[in-house]
Structure 1
Amino acid sequence: MEIRIDSRKKIAFPRFSHYNYAIRYIVEQGIGASYVLLPPPTKKTTELGSRYSPDYACAPFKHTLGSLIEALEAGADVLVETGGLCRLDYYGALQKEIIRELGYRCEFVNLAEYMGGKKSAWLKLAKSLSPKLKPTQLTTGVYEGVKMAQFMDEIEEIYYRDAAFEAEKGRFDKIYRQYLMKMQNAENWHEIREGYQEAKSAFHDVKLKTPENPVRIGVVGEYFTAMDPYSNLFLQEKLVRLGASVSRFLNVTNCHFRAKESVLRPRVREYAQYNMGATTTWTLNAALDYAKQGYDGIVHVKSFGCTPEMDAIPILQNISRDYHIPVLYLSYDMQESDTGLDTRLEAFYDMLERKKKVLR
């Protein structure tokens, strides 16, 4: 019997919410390499990231470093790290040095080095990972992977908007989990599109018992922590269980394909005349939109020591004052207990609910 050995490079990317499914698709279908899809993070992930990180590093650095080390232990031979809009842009180089010092031998691709570069450089990178790659294959794989990410963002938006009001408890969660499982295993465009259409139709068919005036909460803040459920201790799930309709502007679709700095900056000119870096423009725009749309409260999420989001807090306080909308400020590092978070969220939700009753 002939034994076939998979000679493809095994590529890994740090865990980041559900987006690893789209990244897996791009790597396997677009590049033609193998992707190391890690299971959900555990206590070990956070311990690894914290143990080998500098004291000044933010929580996203620690989370991603822990993921990369676990990926190497799972057999990855190529690690890919992306750049950021803040000091995270330099973290790929630092993580590479840490991994080298730990004794791991692997290829390390820092996408920060390619940002703003020519398409030919990206194609050269892809071919270095898969020498037999065809450009049309890459183009198709990237397009379909990006569409998967956009579809997942849309399905997630519906889920957090309506899940609190389902007549039959657990229906929304079941549909959402089944959809994510299909995206985790999708191998072609038909499966991506079919999974999206089925989930959207299933959500539409769920009977809702939506209150006449439900509590609506908007989530803003630092890019990674606000989007990654494990990093924010499943903040949005907790708000849904309390009975809130939850919205979060920050996702890959809005931040990278819709929102442009040149358009968003003038909209918050009365509160901030300059770009303060990283995700602050998105944070302030989303908060202002939530305030103008009559949302009941805003939750601001950041990693501990995130300078741009710290700078945004005084402006959020001004928006809160002008529109009479309460803001709850949450700062995360690598804490694993969510008892304190539960208490704060319950108090915040109860306060918003009482305020609505008084104003009726």
Structure 2
Amino acid sequence: MSAESTPEPGIPGESGTTDEAGGGGPRRRSGGRRRRPRARRRGVMIAAWTAAGVVVLGGTGLGYVYVKLNGNIKSVDIDQALGTDRPTKADNGSENILVLGSDTRSGANKKLGGGADDGSARSDTAMIVHVYEGHKSASVVSVPRDTLIDRPECTDTRGGTHDAATGVMFNSAYTTGGAACAVKTVESISGVRMDHYLEVDFSGFEKLIDELGGVEVTTTKDIKDPDSHLDLKAGTHTLDGAQALGLVRTRHGVGDGSDLGRIQLQQAFVKALVDQVKDVGLLTSGTKLYALADTATKAVTTDSDLGSLNSLMSFAGGLKGIGAADMNMVTLPVRYDPANPNRVIVEKAKAQQVWTALRNDRPIPRTATEGTATGEAAGVVSSS
């Protein structure tokens, strides 16, 4: 069955994939980095890492609304779609979670994502979260959406098959075949088994930040990007949902205007967000707790193993001991594509150091990211 004949709900088939979303269009060879007419409201995954934590902090206090919260959670059966031809699962208690942000062009996301209300979706941000044995620390590997990769043949969660493709953008995997194809692609390029999948959408992210009362960050430089509607002076700010969304999707406000610079902002913000969620004082009000849990469970889509409130709470309970100081955040080692400055190419030898470390439940060595492309936005944002 072809991708065109049986698209996954909300996921366009191959015919709907352009070079911008990772398809096989012609590669641009102009000399400088082009400024896109308008920055797309990129999918923000970082709330997914903390959404489960918001739920678990409520403990048994959520029991009286269990049915409603349980019904909020959407899940997809990744294991059934991918079958048994996958990397070996670790047996020491460590876990790998693929966390994605979906740029869905429908419903509440239409005004945030732009474009037609056509139900299409992209994933423009991805993080591979490795939780080490003992669940006291984690490494997080950001994968740039613009990374050129070889996408494997895959089957989506409706049984539709999608052909392999060479030299396409990483985020084309989700656009082509949804969550299952995104997981398949990550496992193909890394050799690392993804134990879980978490996805968050725009509107859910913005609402979650607002329910938290904002997130405090410090900017060391002015950030002004009309494309993301962000205008921050250097200093300490408590960002509301709209401002937070602007921060994590800005490209032209900092650094060299690339996706790599935006990733550095996201990594700084997620650390601030993780520590904010861990502040139990925010959750002393039962009304506020319910609002947070309701928003968090509506915001995320999970793999089927996490597709119930009990499972999500149990999973998040294992993450409670991990704070921002316990997270090592890196970007997949890449270099700019000399044929197209709007794309990046994996530094294979250095990337292999990352994947080997994760497979062996070891820290990622500093040498893996030394001398790679960064986007030149380091230190612009820090948690306060």
User: Do the structures match in fold with TM over 0.5?
Assistant: no
- Structure with higher RCO (Cα < 8 A, 6+ apart): 2
Instruction: Calculate the TM-score normalised by the size of structure 1.
Output: 0.28
In terms of fraction of residues, the more helix-rich structure is: 1
In terms of fraction of residues, the more strand-rich structure is: 2
Larger Rg computed on CA atoms:
1
Instruction: Calculate the TM-score normalised by the size of structure 2.
Output: 0.27
